[in-house]
Amino acid sequence: MVFLISSPAQRCVLILLFVLVLIAPVTALTLNAGETRSSTPAIAKGDPVYVRGIATGHPQQGLQVWFIGNNFAQVTATSVASDNSFEYELTSSDTRNLAPGQYFVLIQHPMMNGQFDITYNAATGQVINRQQGNGMAIFTLTGPGSLQSADAASALMNAVNSQNIDDMFTTASFFVHEPDALIDPVGEHEVGEKFSITGTTNLAVDDNLMVEVYSSSFAPTGKGQPNEFSGKSGIVKVQPGTGSSNRWSFDIDTSVFVPDEYIVKVTAVNQQVTGTTTFSIVPRKVRTTVPTTVSPLSTPLPPTVVPATPAAAPTTKATPLPAGFIVAGLAAALPAARSLIRNKV
């Protein structure tokens, strides 16, 4: 948005700069005059909205704050501090009753004449231009025949921005949604496990959530009846997330839990929102250790030692006898052989 400065006197005034900060549950929005944003922040019903900024020139009447939405309009004034800062809160009780939808904020500065030239008449529900006659009704903001939401916001901006009005303004917008608290799938767990139950929510950072985990078979019993109960409850704070969702987390130690189906219930402390889911705790599984067969390392066989074959003893050849010696020997042995034969006979 471009501020129009139509007179030399206005040029002598400090340039008006609004910096709006809508403290929403999922993000902080900082708007400068003329800034264009690609997305609009959102809040959950029951979360407050803070509008903070700087208004130079220190207007004595302060600033006029317009909130416009679906079947809702609120016009109020807020003062400017000595350091030119201002803050206005749309409280939890205000937003708790808002219908889901888009809401517009317009911050109006009275500028040079020190008065708001565009005002709201609560008795008639009309928006009045005080620079025309004794005050002329421009359009109806509340009541029968009133403009709604975006049409009313557009008509108001056109009125303040008209040439015969020296007031200046800046705007912002936000969405209001029904509050939610969602739980991520928990899955099955064994007795003794430690894990976290997590989820998302559109509630504001640092909002409190009550988380309860209890056995689905738990029920009141008589004094003489056994009543085995296991569970856990506690309060956690919403943590910053990404986009339009914040996060929450709740730690669980199932060492003292009994096997059963369990209910998880998440409840907002200051808003009317509840989320539930179930999961199971099963007995701890007995895990037998299977011995690992280690294959022996392949050991190379020792080399086969082949015994050495003993070398054959050298053969000594007999020296042949002379033939004469052989014949002589036979002749000498022949008479002895004859004598031996006779004796046997």
116 confidence band (pLDDT: 50, 70, 90) = very high
Instruction: Give all domains of the chain, ordered by start, each with its CATH number.
Output: 8-177 (2.70.50), 181-220+227-282 (2.60.40.10)
- 326 or 124, greater pLDDT: 124
Per-residue pLDDT at 97 exceeds 80: yes
> pLDDT by residue (tens digit) across 173-227?
889 999 999 999 999 999 999 999 999 999 988 999 999 999 988 655 555 555 5
By C-alpha distance, which of 45, 28, 39 is closest to 181? 45
15 confidence band (pLDDT: 50, 70, 90) = very low
% pLDDT > 90, the chain? 46
By C-alpha distance, which of 218, 213, 217, 255 is closest to 231? 213
112 confidence band (pLDDT: 50, 70, 90) = confident
In which region does residue 131 sit, left (phi positive, over 0), alpha (psi from -120 to 50) or beta (all else)? Answer: alpha
Burial 73-103 (b: 16+ CB within 10 A, else e): bebeebebeeeeebebebeeeebbebeeebb
- Predicted confidence at residue 160, as pLDDT, reads 94
Rounded CA separation 270/128 (Å)? 38
- 152 or 337, greater pLDDT: 152
Beta-strand ranges (E) seen in 186-244 are 188-190, 194-201, 208-215, 231-237, 239-242
- 228 or 114, greater pLDDT: 114
Distances (CA, A) of 163 to 7, 159, 297, 314: 11, 9, 97, 142
- Predicted confidence at residue 3, as pLDDT, reads 32
- Predicted confidence at residue 55, as pLDDT, reads 86
Per-chain mean pLDDT for the chain: 78
Token pair for 87: 């803050």
Cβ distance 47 to 186 under 8 Å? no
Those residues with Cβ within 8 angstroms of residue 270's Cβ, 6 or more apart along the chain or in another chain: 46, 92, 207, 208
Cβ distance 198 to 192 under 8 Å? no
- Predicted confidence at residue 25, as pLDDT, reads 38
- 20 or 195, greater pLDDT: 195
> pLDDT by residue (tens digit) across 135-166?
899 999 999 999 988 999 999 999 999 988 99
Burial 300-324 (b: 16+ CB within 10 A, else e): eeeeeeeeeeeeeeeeeeeeeeeee
> pLDDT by residue (tens digit) across 260-272?
999 999 999 888 8
Highest mean pLDDT among 38-52, 279-293, 327-341: 38-52
Query: How many C-beta atoms surround the C-beta of residue 182 within 10 A?
Result: 15
Out of 26-40, 115-129, 268-282, 314-328, least confident range: 26-40
pTM beyond 0.85: no
